[in-house]
């Protein structure tokens, strides 16, 4: 059974940094593209970033490009998202998901809440 | 590129059928059979209901079906049940970045 478990969400001040993690199990992690998708309170889904299965290729939404960095450790079956220069509008639940553009988001974690506020 | 366009809300009575539309452009929905649909109950993670326009993942009821015409895709739910009440989001591959576009979401109310 596939499981995705996010962690690392917290309350952080504007301009601050945070690292989110997503522990994966139940599938051959290194073979699959992985993504982060976020959802601001009361709003819809927004794709944030993705990384290729072998770690090759990283992709970002314009809204986070230059501030967020996606990475993965295939030896630990873990996906990461480093969030820097955080803004109020980055407040959201961040979901990790198995899949990317030419796939679909087959599995999702339960999400981790990032709140950016002074 | 802008988000895909969905109606904010739709409603139907138990047993009825409803259709949710999703309008994109020739750079996304119109050019690729890579439209998926997600169901999200409040406070829960999204769940894929349809992928590649009309395919159903294992375990998803055949009451859910998808189609596409031109730059628009549609999700149809037949035989509405109370548990179908949720938000539904369409999603498409988008050429040239941002690679993935979601619709704004449609709230389905089962009357």
Q: Which of A109, A105, A51 has the alpha carbon at shortest distance from B92?
A: A105
Pick B102's closest partner by Cβ from A45, A101, A108.
A45
Pick A104's closest partner by Cβ from B48, B99, B103.
B48
Q: Euclidean distance between the first and final Cα of chain B, in Å?
A: 35
Q: Reduced to 3 states, what is the DSSP secondary structure of residue A31?
A: helix
Measured between alpha carbons, how far is B26 from A118 in angstroms, rounded to an integer? 42
The distance of B20 to chain A (nearest Cα, Å) reads: 16
Per-residue pLDDT of chain A (118 residues; tens, 9 = 90+): 999 999 999 999 999 999 999 999 999 999 999 999 999 999 999 999 999 987 679 999 999 999 999 999 999 999 999 999 999 999 999 999 999 977 899 999 999 999 999 9
pLDDT bucket at B2, cuts 50 / 70 / 90: confident
Q: Do B34 and A101 touch (CB under 8 A)?
A: yes
- The pair of structure tokens assigned to B5 is 């366009």
Beta bridge partners of A72: A79
Measured between alpha carbons, how far is B8 from B62 in angstroms, rounded to an integer? 24
Report pLDDT digits (tens) over B54-88.
Answer: 999 999 999 999 999 999 999 999 999 999 999 99
Pick A95's closest partner by Cβ from B45, B51, B97.
B45
Q: Which of B7, B13, B11 has the alpha carbon at shortest distance from B109?
A: B11
A17 CB within 8 Å of a chain B CB: no
The distance of A16 to chain B (nearest Cα, Å) reads: 25
Name the helix (H) or strand (E) containing A44.
none
Residue with tokens 């939404």: A61
Q: Identify the closest residue of chain A to B44 by CA–CA distance.
A: A110
């Amino acid at each position: 059974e596939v499981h995705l478990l996010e962690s690392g969400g917290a309350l952080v001040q504007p301009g601050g940094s945070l690292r989110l993690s997503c522990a994966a199990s139940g599938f051959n992690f290194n073979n699959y593209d992985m993504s982060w998708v976020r959802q601001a309170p009361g709003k819809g889904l927004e794709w944030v970033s993705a990384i290729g299965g072998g770690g090759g290729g990283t992709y970002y939404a314009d809204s986070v490009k230059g501030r967020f960095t996606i990475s993965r450790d295939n030896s630990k079956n873990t996906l990461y998202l480093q969030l820097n220069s955080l803004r109020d509008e980055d407040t959201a639940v961040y979901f990790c998901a198995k899949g990317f553009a030419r796939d679909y988001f087959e599995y999702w974690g339960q999400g981790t809440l990032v709140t950016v506020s002074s | 590129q802008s988000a895909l366009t969905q109606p904010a809300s739709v409603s139907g009575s138990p047993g009825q059928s409803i259709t949710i539309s999703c309008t994109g452009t020739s750079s996304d929905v119109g050019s690729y059979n890579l439209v998926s649909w997600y169901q999200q109950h409040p406070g829960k993670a999204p769940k894929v209901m349809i992928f590649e326009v009309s395919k159903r993942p294992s375990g998803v009821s055949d009451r859910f079906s998808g189609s596409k015409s031109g730059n628009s895709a549609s999700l149809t739910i037949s035989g509405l049940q109370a548990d179908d009440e949720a938000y539904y989001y369409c999603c498409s591959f988008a050429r040239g970045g941002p690679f993935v576009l979601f619709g704004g979401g449609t709230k389905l109310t089962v009357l």
